[in-house]
Amino acid sequence: MTENMRLDSTDLEILRVLQNNARITNRELAATVGIAASTCLDRVNRMRENGVILGYRLQVAPEALGRPIQAFLTIRAQHRRELLTALAEHIRAQPETRALYHLAGRDDFLVLVAAESVADLQRLVIDELTGRPEINQVQTTLVFQEWEGGPLLPPDGPR
């Protein structure tokens, strides 16, 4: 549905501000963007209804929840739709899984996980993944530090 929606510069500014602070009040957002609060609310609601705004998330530090070990897992699997669907469901069901991406290219999946310990990460990789018949290979890359990017803007938007 988002392909049919035209975003003007005011919509883009609303998105930029919300991506930097989703907790901002509508009144503060409207003042920052320079429009009336009712207009701002209408625009935000329209973007939400049209699938431009997908939701709002709370970010939690994994170490605060006892999961200080983060890693990316790249997975190569057999290419049969029913196997890939079942595998994706299995990966998503693991409590360590933070994000899962289905890829084109050499690897089939990229998984961001947060584990309690190296032993917990090893258990996840060996017991929950490499033991599955549809998985051909799992490669683990530890995350030392994480930085977040800036707000997402269209290719022709302001830099």
Q: Calculate mean pLDDT across residues 112-117.
A: 98
What global pTM score does this model have?
0.82
pLDDT tens column, 71-80: 999 999 988 8
* Residues 6 or more apart in contact with residue 19 via CB below 8 angstroms: 150, 151, 152
Neighbours of 103 (CB within 10 A): 12
pLDDT of residue 83: 87
Radius of gyration of the chain (CA): 20
Q: What are phi and psi of 109, to 5 degrees?
A: -135, 145
> In whole angstroms, what is the distance from residue 71 CA to residue 108 CA?
17
Residue 159: band (very low, low, confident or very high) from pLDDT cuts 50, 70, 90: very low
